[in-house]
């Protein structure tokens, strides 16, 4: 096997690994910090784009009184 073919094989394997990692990690990134309930609730502005191609909800919990 030539060196060029080995390099192409390694590059293809690395690219495939990156694609798989991206596909596994993306759903988590689109809901970072939000519960399933929070991610499924309608939010202000949802009526402006009734069928979005991408939907993401991120949340932060702050342990403090509302005041």
Per-residue pLDDT of the chain (67 residues; tens, 9 = 90+): 688 888 888 899 999 999 999 899 988 888 999 988 988 888 888 899 888 888 888 999 899 998 8
Q: What pLDDT score was predicted for residue 40? A: 86
Question: Contacts by 24-31 with C-beta closer than 8 Å and gap 24+?
Answer: 29/56, 30/54, 30/55, 30/56, 30/57, 31/56, 31/57, 31/58
Q: What is the pTM of this model?
A: 0.55
Element (H, E) at 25: helix 3-30
Report the residue count for the chain: 67
Q: What pLDDT score was predicted for residue 1? A: 67
């Amino acid at each position: 096997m030539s060196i060029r073919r080995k390099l192409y094989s390694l590059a293809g394997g690395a690219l495939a690994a990156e694609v798989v990692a991206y596909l596994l990690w993306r759903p988590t990134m689109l809901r970072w910090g939000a519960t399933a309930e929070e991610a499924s609730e309608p939010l202000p502005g949802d009526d402006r784009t009734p069928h979005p191609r991408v939907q993401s909800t991120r949340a932060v919990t702050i342990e403090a009184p509302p005041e």
